[in-house]
A and B are shown apart, each in its own frame.
Chain A
């Protein structure tokens, strides 16, 4: 049985459904990320786990204890730690008092409070700053105070609501790894909310992608990237070329299908990641820019090879980026090496049938 179980969770605000019958499981010691665009219900789901929202239906079980079905458990009684988007560090309390607030409420002896506080301050790298007021700290330091406060009580579950979104880009990247290693070392089960796909990829054991109140796909970062469940996931995580078309023939034994697109009568695509499809179905033949191969001279392969014209070319340091037009269909291409061709010249484009997938 999973450590956190969310069953059939449903929450709406007036007429807007924020969380639409969601089921989720988080295993012990795992870091699960809820990823999605703003308004997809990820923060509401997190706040339901925290007890800051009271959902209309469903149940949340934490470590075997139901939070809703046997009476609403107040946030203060759930044994959670939470890091808020704007840190919510209390401006009228010194760093030390911010951190030990929860411990004092639990009436823990003074000495153990002090010891525990020093440990946590050391963990987050704030030793020596305990007598400062939050206004005397940088944004990154306030962030660490919020983290320390959430961790100090050894919570069963750590909830993080876009904790890095207010930091500048450099610091954000550094903190991703810090949080990940800290949480992993302490072995706390945690749920992390973000709209930043790169952050989700770095920090998570598993990612749950949400769209309009539904969980669309759950999996490891690799699974989500390599085998997106649908067009939305593929578009939200990384960049993908979508070529609208219609299935003309399904080749069951090889898990592939021929798709008719605007520039090709028969484009061979991989169907292994999706449920069964049949001829006549409207689909998107999809391929990531880095999976497109380009040649200056025609290669030996015949299948899925097209001639295209370079419309835009950009040099981005570690790779080249092209917009190539194949009969007016624009394909984005990313190649890691130099090519002499300029805008207006022709290229051979190979859409590898293994990597060109069918999505709905």
Chain B
């Protein structure tokens, strides 16, 4: 174990300590403060668990989580099965479409569906025009709408895990069941599905935790009695009311605790129950079925339907972006580039900020992630597993927790939050796992003897890294880089607490324009712009090739 490695580990740990551990512990400390006094205590927590309002909020969130999980599972299992097992036309295109919500920001989805399914949205207006209904149907405002929007956003996590599971199962397990006489559906229930539980669970926990992190969707749909939305309102709107602020922080800490606990439980369980590695000799395609025409058309119809819902997001936002005064009409009638003119002329700063902040965060990410993955995979430095663990935990942390804790921690003693650098730093801390995971997994796939061969040939450690490791890692690292950038570019939950005048990013611009109500077209145009930028970046990834959307595992979104 060389001295250099230990020095590197110490350096990375101090960065983690400063940017993750310190602010998050300040967050916890603040939650114990009692308003109006200098005292500390658990009274905030006691109040939270005695107050019927907060308790109801907590209960609502649990109910919402369960409903979203049930919905995504019911829709996701057949979807994953069709995508993984049926040989059909357009497999790649449909898979990409259905997985698309991972890289679309959640708020883009909500806006699109409000326009399309709202009280006087396209669907209601069309139905009233044809005379089928007299008064508009409430498609979207309420718990059912919330479940719909969040389920569509989280569906990819179920599909991704399960279809990978369906593909990776050694066909011989199912063939053995077939020989034993288990037919069709029974075989699926008793052999296939149980073998896929680990990959299902990995996605399911992310789905279940989403309602504990997503504050914006409930807010837009007029449903505020959920834990993250309450935290946001308490902290952002009542910053001067110390008690409400502390209660908001308590709510953040509680959601974070729920997220961390479930995430760790799932991780532990999945580690224990990995079946897919049990045997060798699977084909890359897995077991593929040629369905009967009837089933095939049913399957087509089904994936068309889901893909249509996903495609609505960019289409509706696009319509809104290129039009003005789209009110009380099913489709816009007045087409214009006015929205884009306004964005580019009046607020190019937002786009510039977004690129600069995400870009700087990315440089931090690479500068931290490459040495970190080297340490974790290739050395025996003590504490390397803990480092990996802490960084992975950031996947489970709600963005709001990072934002609030930065605000609290870097205000008085270390007044970093008064400088713009806080924005890229926060983005870096929040999105770090995306880059690290990719670098990490490509490092694991890199055969160590390739590096050893270089050392034996006379190259030192650094030269080996530059000549051998880096060129071979570059694919995975680049995918990680682009994913990191996309996720940082779309980030709002952390940034919303930290931005000051002049530091607004594109997502914040979308939120503010929406919030103001009148500038709806501009918000849509910004969201559309964001989707276009995301698409371009995704094209770059697919050029680089390999496991595009797998890179995005982990909670995406705001």
Contact = CB atoms under 8 A, between A and B. Distances in A.
A260 interface: no
A101 B463 CA distance: 11
Interface in A77-92: 77-78, 80-82, 84-86, 88-92
Interface in B86-100: none
Contact of B452 (A52, A77, A92): A52
Contacts of A106: 458
A149 B457 contact: yes
Contacts of B457: 76, 101-102, 105, 149, 153
B456 interface: yes
Contact of B455 (A76, A89, A92, A159): A76
Given A88-B447, A92-B471, A105 B459 contact: yes
Contacts of A149: 453, 457
B24 to A, nearest CB: 33
Contacts of B450: 88, 90
A90 B452 contact: no
A85 B472 contact: no
B458 A84 contact: no
B223 interface: no
B130 interface: no
B242 interface: no
A76 B458 contact: yes
Interface in B469-510: 471-472
A189 to B, nearest CB: 16
A75 interface: yes
Nearest to A52: B452
B458 A105 contact: yes
A75 B456 contact: yes
Interface in B404-460: 447, 449-450, 452-460
Contacts of B471: 92
B458 A90 contact: no
B451 to A, nearest CB: 8
Contacts of B472: 90-92
A78 B450 CA distance: 18
A166 interface: no
B468 interface: yes
A52 B452 CA distance: 7
B449 A84 contact: yes
Contacts of B455: 51-52, 74-76
Interface of chain B, main secondary structure? helix
A50 interface: yes
Given A90-B468, A91-B472, A92-B472, A85 B449 contact: yes
A23 B320 CA distance: 80
Given A86-B447, A86-B449, A88-B449, A74 B454 contact: no
Nearest to A72: B2
B458 A153 contact: yes
A74 B459 CA distance: 10
B456 A80 contact: yes
Contact of B459 (A78, A101, A150): A101
Contact of B460 (A76, A102, A159): A76
A134 B458 CA distance: 21
A76 B468 contact: no
Given A90-B468, A92-B472, A102 B458 contact: yes
A153 B459 CA distance: 13
A71 B375 CA distance: 24
Nearest to B452: A52
B197 to A, nearest CB: 32
A101 to B, nearest CB: 5
Contacts of B467: 101
B454 A84 contact: no
Given A52-B452, A84-B452, A105 B447 contact: no
B463 A105 contact: yes
Contacts of B447: 86, 88
Contacts of B449: 84-86, 88
B468 A50 contact: no
Interface string A33-55: 00000000000000000111000
A76 B459 contact: yes
A50 B458 contact: no
A84 B452 CA distance: 9
Contacts of A51: 455-456
Contacts of B459: 76, 101-102, 105
Contacts of A88: 447, 449-450, 452-453
Nearest to A54: B1
Nearest to B450: A88
A51 B458 CA distance: 12
Interface in B38-93: none
B439 to A, nearest CB: 17
Nearest to A78: B456
B456 A76 contact: yes
Contacts of A80: 456
A85 B452 CA distance: 12
A85 B450 CA distance: 11
A331 B471 CA distance: 59
A215 B137 CA distance: 83
B454 A101 contact: yes
A219 B447 CA distance: 35
B363 to A, nearest CB: 25
A88 B455 CA distance: 12
Contacts of B463: 105
A84 B456 CA distance: 11
Interface string A145-182: 01001100100000100000000000000000000000
A150 B456 CA distance: 9
Nearest to A159: B456
Contacts of A153: 457-458
Contacts of A82: 452-453, 456
A271 to B, nearest CB: 46
A18 to B, nearest CB: 15
Contacts of B453: 82, 84, 88-90, 146, 149
Nearest to B453: A88
A247 to B, nearest CB: 48
- Most B CB atoms within 10 A — which of A84, A91, A106? A84
- Most B CB atoms within 10 A — which of A78, A85, A92? A92
- Most B CB atoms within 10 A — which of A52, A76, A105, A146? A76
Interface in A51-73: 51-52
A89 B456 CA distance: 13
- Most A CB atoms within 10 A — which of B447, B450, B472? B450
Contacts of A89: 453
A99 to B, nearest CB: 10
B468 to A, nearest CB: 6
Interface in A232-275: none
Given A86-B447, A86-B449, A81 B456 contact: yes
Contacts of A81: 456
- Most A CB atoms within 10 A — which of B447, B452, B456, B472? B456
B424 to A, nearest CB: 32
A69 to B, nearest CB: 19
- Most A CB atoms within 10 A — which of B449, B453, B471, B472? B453
B356 to A, nearest CB: 33
A82 B450 CA distance: 11
Nearest to B468: A90
A74 to B, nearest CB: 7
B486 to A, nearest CB: 27
17 contacts: A50-B456, A51-B455, A52-B455, A75-B456, A76-B455, A82-B453, A82-B456, A84-B449, A86-B447, A90-B454, A90-B468, A92-B471, A101-B459, A101-B467, A105-B457, A105-B458, A146-B453
The 8 A-B residue pairs with the shortest CB-CB distance, nearest first, are A102-B457, A88-B449, A88-B453, A84-B449, A75-B455, A82-B456, A76-B458, A105-B458
Given A90-B450, A105-B458, A159-B456, 9 more contacts: A51-B456, A52-B455, A76-B459, A77-B458, A78-B456, A88-B449, A90-B468, A101-B467, A102-B458
